[in-house]
């Protein structure tokens, strides 16, 4: 068996993954729940997880001396907090299995000839093989898939996923660094929405809720050329009606307090003050003196603030490309192409992508394991 790699190093993405710690998988042990974290390919990964799931990943690494730990949000990392631990473990396995590695070898074409293959490299060299597994990762442009299209495969157009939203020069960016534990963000005029932590940055909005929304809406937002509006509910436990009732109660309970000084919700104080200012409420106004016009304007802002998004910023920590080879052309039991016998695929080259949290690697391990096992079986 031979691994061919176009750069001078194997596993360079693993090295930089998870901020250098490698978020190997997610501590989710229910296949249905896990598969809900893939904006594209959820049904496909569900089938793969029956062969090799999160528990198998944890066990696989543990059997090879690498213990994983779970963080509060479910992400799993090696206990060393170093991606090098994962790389060392994988490379030890490569050595143990006697796999040859050829680096600085870019495959330009794969020719399929009578169930055998010829790999043509950029320097003109040729390698023949009985089985080929393409695990080339995703590509950002459809033309970069041409060598796979020539084999008879169809490509779902690649689009960026997992990015943050820009709101250039909006006054809220003055609050950069502030995070809110739970907000609801909705794309205006669409059904797509997500709930989760939000981070205000100097260029706009980031944090898990934004990244998740960017992944689920990846294709739609590309169509809009990343110019669109969002509505944020800063208190997602309430809607405008229920918040009105809460405000009536607060006016009574906090009558003598100034609105600016006492924040009855768990919102960051600076954000609370920003919202009060934005709705035109005077600095020294007491709860008892709130008139219904002020209340309505303030409640509307808290439940339904609108922001115009102008462009995106790539989230460097865990960027993936949505799109790739269409899944109906792949047999999920073996990862073999339905178009070309003995040609296999694994990882991001297919039209599967997950949100952040270890989902992308789990899919890469699952698909790689199935392809490897199938090839080993066929080549006996």
Chain residues in the site for ligand FAD (CB under 6 A): 4-7, 12-13, 16-18, 22-23, 106-107, 135-137, 316-320, 347-349, 358-361, 364
Please identify the residue of the shown chain whose CB is closest to the bound ligand FAD: 347
Q: How many residues does the chain have?
A: 380
CB of 46 to ligand FAD, least distance (A): 17
Nearer to ligand FAD, 5 or 190 (CB): 5
Which residue(s) pair with 236 in the sheet?
A: none
CB of 1 to ligand FAD, least distance (A): 15
CB of 161 to ligand FAD, least distance (A): 10
C-beta of residue 178 within 8 angstroms of C-beta of residue 271: yes
User: Residue 146 — φ and ψ, nearest 5°?
Assistant: -55, -40
Which token pair is 132?
């080929």
User: Residue 296 — φ and ψ, nearest 5°?
Assistant: -60, -40
CB of 247 to ligand FAD, least distance (A): 42
Which token pair is 65?
């001396």
> Which long-range contacts link 206-212 to residues 24+ away (Cβ below 8 Å)?
206/164, 206/165, 206/313, 206/315, 207/179, 208/356, 209/183, 209/184, 209/185, 210/164, 210/165, 210/185, 211/162, 211/163, 211/164, 211/315, 211/318, 211/355, 211/356, 212/355, 212/356
Nearer to ligand FAD, 156 or 348 (CB): 348
Nearer to ligand FAD, 215 or 295 (CB): 215
Nearer to ligand FAD, 6 or 116 (CB): 6
Nearer to ligand FAD, 77 or 272 (CB): 77
CB of 160 to ligand FAD, least distance (A): 11
CA distance 4 to 143: 21
C-beta of residue 176 within 8 angstroms of C-beta of residue 186: no
CA distance 128 to 186: 52
Nearer to ligand FAD, 160 or 196 (CB): 160
CB of 268 to ligand FAD, least distance (A): 28
Nearer to ligand FAD, 204 or 358 (CB): 358
CB of 364 to ligand FAD, least distance (A): 4
């Amino acid at each position: 068996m031979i691994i061919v790699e176009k750069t001078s190093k194997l596993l360079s993405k693993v090295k930089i993954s998870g901020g250098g710690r490698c978020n190997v998988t997610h501590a989710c042990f229910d296949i249905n729940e896990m598969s809900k974290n893939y904006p594209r390919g959820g049904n496909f990964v569900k089938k793969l997880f029956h062969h090799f799931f999160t528990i198998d990943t944890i066990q696989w690494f543990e059997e090879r001396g690498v213990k994983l730990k779970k963080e509060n949000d479910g992400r799993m990392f090696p206990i060393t907090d170093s991606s090098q631990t994962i790389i060392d473990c994988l490379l030890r396995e490569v050595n143990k299995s006697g796999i040859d590695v050829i680096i600085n070898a870019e495959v330009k074409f794969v020719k399929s000839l009578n169930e055998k293959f010829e790999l043509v490299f950029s320097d003109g060299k040729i390698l023949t093989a009985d089985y080929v597994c393409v695990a080339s990762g995703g590509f950002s442009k459809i033309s970069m898939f041409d060598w796979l299209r020539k084999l008879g495969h169809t490509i779902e157009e690649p689009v960026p996923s997992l990015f943050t939203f820009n709101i250039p020069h909006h006054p809220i960016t003055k609050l950069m660094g502030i995070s809110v534990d739970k907000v609801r963000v909705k794309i205006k005029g669409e059904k797509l929405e997500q709930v989760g932590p939000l981070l205000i940055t100097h260029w706009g909005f980031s944090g898990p809720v934004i990244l998740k929304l960017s992944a689920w809406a990846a294709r739609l937002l590309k169509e809009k050329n990343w110019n669109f509006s969002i509505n944020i509910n800063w208190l997602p436990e309430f809607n405008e009606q229920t918040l009105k009732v809460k405000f009536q109660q607060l006016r009574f309970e906090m009558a003598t307090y100034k609105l600016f000084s006492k924040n009855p919700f768990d919102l960051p104080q600076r954000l609370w003050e920003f919202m009060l200012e934005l709705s035109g409420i005077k600095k020294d106004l007491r709860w008892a003196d709130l008139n219904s016009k002020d209340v309505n304007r303030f409640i509307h802002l808290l439940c339904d603030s609108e922001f115009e998004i102008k462009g995106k910023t790539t989230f460097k920590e865990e960027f993936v490309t949505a799109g790739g080879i269409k899944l109906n052309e792949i047999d999920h039991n073996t990862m073999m192409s339905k178009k070309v016998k003995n040609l296999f695929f694994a990882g991001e080259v297919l039209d599967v992508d997950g949100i952040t949290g270890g989902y992308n690697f789990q899919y890469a391990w699952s698909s790689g394991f199935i392809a490897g096992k199938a090839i080993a079986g066929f080549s006996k």
